[in-house]
């Protein structure tokens, strides 16, 4: 699972898709995950990093991860 390489991601949490002109704002946890994906981190590695850094249970993160993926798919931001 990878972000489309053309997606621009700013440190302030703004996403821009030049193919569609759509812009998005990401909250801090989403920004961290997107940054990890941008660096080609595998999903499990990204989750491990989030679990180490944030106060969240693994099952909750799993559920929220699926929801984030659904959001990214809905907005056509994933490569595959």
Catalog residues that contact another protein under the rule CB under 8 A.
15, 22-30, 33, 52-56, 60, 64-65, 67-68, 70-72, 74-75
Residue 20: strand, helix, or coil: coil
| Shortest reach from residue 28's CB to another protein, in Å | 7
Structure tokens at 71: 């959001």
Place of tokens 């595959």: 80
| Shortest reach from residue 68's CB to another protein, in Å | 4
| Shortest reach from residue 23's CB to another protein, in Å | 4
* H or E, element range at 14: strand 14-17
């Amino acid at each position: 699972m990878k972000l489309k390489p053309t997606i621009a991601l700013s440190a302030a949490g703004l996403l821009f898709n030049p193919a569609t002109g759509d812009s998005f704002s990401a909250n801090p946890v989403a920004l961290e995950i997107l940054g990890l994906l941008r660096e080609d981190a595998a999903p499990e590695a990204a989750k491990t990093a989030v679990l180490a850094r944030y106060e969240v249970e693994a099952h909750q993160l799993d559920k929220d991860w699926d929801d984030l993926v659904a959001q990214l798919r809905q907005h056509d931001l994933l490569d595959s």
